[in-house]
Structure 1
Amino acid sequence: MRLPLPQFATGDRHPHHIAEVIETNTTEFLAQCLEPEDLSFPPMPPFGSWVCSTDEESGNQIYAVVYYATTMPIDSVHRAVALGLSLQDLREEQPQIFAMLKTEFRAAIVGFAPPSATPGFSKAYQYLPPRPPQIHQAVYRCEAETIVKFTEELDFLQTLLTVQGAPVESLTAAAMRAVYQLRKADRQWLIKAGRTLSLLLKDDYDRLRFILRQVHP
């Protein structure tokens, strides 16, 4: 069985609650994925997927896009070594392996929504919030409806194009693909996004073409 990790209670966990903030700054946060209940690796959020967390002091809901993910040993002393076993073999012969690894991801903040007095409605802003989410705040996969609503405006594309330490062209394309799929192949939205990118990259046609070729209509 998996070794107990008391910091990750699974009993009442929301199905979209996937991680916890372990490092944070003005423009991004690092989150550690929560351990699954069975013997398996924590699910790694897809590159370009949308996540959210909260600044509890202000009540702001913080929206971000995943740009980097990794699975590694829980300490810096021991390194993973190749064992030549399938996942099923690992579960049967080396179950402790799953408790010795952690999955983390970095997400670039693209906007926020302040708390609203009107239930079910909160205007979103596509610029950096006054504060990022705090340490140990829960991180959730964004609801499809939330992403669709947030991406009615396209200022987030400029933010993605300036993320430091990321393959920004591929990141922008991945985020656009995710939105396009959630919008059920809304071609008008895709055309609008393409026009916005063409303005942002008007002096760099090669980058623009590279991004658009990765977004499959």
Structure 2
Amino acid sequence: MPGATKTWSPRNFYTQQRGKYEIEGSGERSNSGRRDVFWSLFTLRVFFTKHSLMMPKQYIAEVIESSTTELSAQTRVLNGSPPFGSFVKVGTSPMSIAMICDIITGSSEPNRQPVAYGKSEEELRKEQPQIFELLRTEIRAKIVGYSLDGVIRQLVPPHPPRLHDFVYVCTPEEVQTFTQQYDYFRTLAGIGGSLSDELLIAAIQQSCSCQSGSARACLIRIGKELSRLFRDDYDRLESILKRIVL
């Protein structure tokens, strides 16, 4: 329509600048035209960089089973789980916060078990790529708290995460905020077995690495908390503390 304003888009912008690049009637390119195109491409690069940074971070897994104390999720990519002990989040109201306590890769069909082929993964992907379509990676995570209306509580959430909710890795800032208190240590200690101690060690190492100030000072504060928690089990306390690597 006459007088209508075109919607700005990278394509329209580039086309407009391209018109300045060609000298009508001669097909020759001027120095000013070259400068115009240079700045056009530079602006486009800034545009795409800005908008790619604004895109939400991709999820790592999708919930396939949940309760108020733990959840299971299938990773978006085969072998795409974060490390054991990582803090993850799921849901919005409330947003459950959990620690990965197990990572399992196997067949997606219960009646079909993977078999050994005597070949590397790279060779199998070239020769029999269909094999990997039948595999999946799952994570199990222990829920250690939740966030509701901007307030973090180191308690069991009032509702479990919903099935098919997406799971995201907590940012360093979120881990720092959550680990300022140590009430969730008791939740981890109550799991029982060696898994409990391994999760405690992972939590302590992350807490010391993300808190402001000296990591050693943070470890001293945590040590005092653990000494109260394990006041009747010195051997377990010693086993945990001597395996912490900062």
TM-score class, shorter: 0.7 to 0.9
1:118-142: CA deviation from partner (whole Å, max 9, x where unpaired): xxxx221111111121111010010
Residue 198 of structure 1 is matched in structure 2 by: 227
TM-score (norm 1): 0.82
2:60–2:81 contact (8 Å) kept in structure 1: no
Letter in 2 for 1:95: P
Distance 2:81 2:175 in 1: 19
Residue 210 of structure 1 is matched in structure 2 by: 239
- Alignment of 1:79 with 2:113, yes or no, is yes
Q: Secondary structure at the match of 2:208?
A: helix
1:68–1:107 contact (8 Å) kept in structure 2: yes
Uncovered stretches (5+) of structure 2, i.e. residues with no partner: 1-54
Counterpart selection for 1:50 from 78, 87, 106: 87
Shift of 1:60: 1.2
Distance 1:202 1:164, change over 3 A: closer
Q: Secondary structure at the match of 2:89?
A: strand
Q: Which runs of 4+ in 1 moved over 4 A?
A: none
- CA-based RMSD of the aligned residues comes to 1.9
* Aligned counterparts, 1:1-217, within 5 A: 14-35=56-77, 41-54=78-91, 56=92, 59-115=93-149, 122-163=150-191, 167-183=195-211, 186-217=215-246
Letter in 2 for 1:28: E
Letter in 1 for 2:200: T
Structure with greater Cα Rg:
2
Give % identity: 38
Letter in 2 for 1:209: E
1:67–1:166 contact (8 Å) kept in structure 2: no
1:159-213: CA deviation from partner (whole Å, max 9, x where unpaired): 1111267611112112222232333762222111111111000000111111111
Distance 2:56 2:124 in 1: 28
Distance 1:166 1:102, change over 3 A: farther
TM-score (norm 2): 0.73
1:46-92: CA deviation from partner (whole Å, max 9, x where unpaired): 111110101x5xx1111001111100100111111111212211221
1:19-54: CA deviation from partner (whole Å, max 9, x where unpaired): 01100112111111113xxxxx33122111110101
Distance 1:49 1:214 in 2: 17
Uncovered stretches (5+) of structure 1, i.e. residues with no partner: 1-12, 36-40, 116-121
Q: Secondary structure at the match of 1:45?
A: coil
Whichever structure has more helix as a proportion of its residues is: 2
Distance 2:103 2:121 in 1: 20
Matched residue pairs, number?
192
Q: Secondary structure at the match of 1:22?
A: strand
